[in-house]
Amino acid sequence: MTIYQKRLFKLDHEVIENSLTKKMNERIESAVEEIRTEYEEKEKYFESQIAKMKVELHKEVDKAKGGIGHVSGYSDLNQNYYLRAFDSFVGASFSYIKGEDNLNLRRVTNMMSDNCLPNLNKKDIEHNDDIFKHFEEVIEKLTEYNSEGIFTDQLRSLKYQFSQCKKRELVVKDAA
């Protein structure tokens, strides 16, 4: 081999080596980009799943909070503590609305209108303004939540019983 051939061989070798290195780097970059894209897609998917799970978890917590108020109110109702029961049912209603628990929301709104409000009067409203402000907020929230008309009857009944409660005087029972 002559010096010229050696030099030519060396140059060809460098060109081939550089070409191979360039192709390998391109393939590596392409593979890395493909992996990065796949990772980002999976990350978005998992983040959306986590967000959904958080929403569901919050709903379950709200349902549980509603259940606590519901049980407390039911216990108070059985002991004829109508105002305490009403207060518990108001709190339970907020939680059930947030938790989208329609069945139990219907139950507590029915107990408020059928059992609690008929046994309360305007003095109860005057002396427990905060409870009745929360009740009015429940009415607003329930009205917003009632987009499909599911709670129309309950809303009508609650509003009617509340208006009657505002007019009702304290009835003193004779000890005879």
SS (H, E, C) 94-143: HHHHHHCCHHHHHHHHHHHHHHHHHHCCHHHHHHCHHHHHHHHHHHHHHH
- Asked whether 86 and 116 are in contact (CB, 8 A), the reply is yes
Closest CA to 155 of 96, 100, 112: 112
Q: Which residue has tokens 């259940």?
A: 67
How is residue 38 written in tokens? Answer: 């796949």
Q: Which residue has tokens 């609305």?
A: 97
pLDDT tens for the 176 residues of the chain, in order? 677 677 767 777 787 888 888 899 999 999 999 999 999 999 999 999 999 999 999 999 999 999 999 999 999 999 999 999 999 999 999 999 999 999 999 999 999 999 999 999 999 999 999 999 999 999 999 999 998 899 999 999 999 999 999 998 876 554 44
Q: What is the pLDDT of residue 171?
A: 60
Domains in the chain: boundaries: 58-167
- Asked whether 120 and 108 are in contact (CB, 8 A), the reply is no
Structural element, H or E, at residue 17: helix 3-78
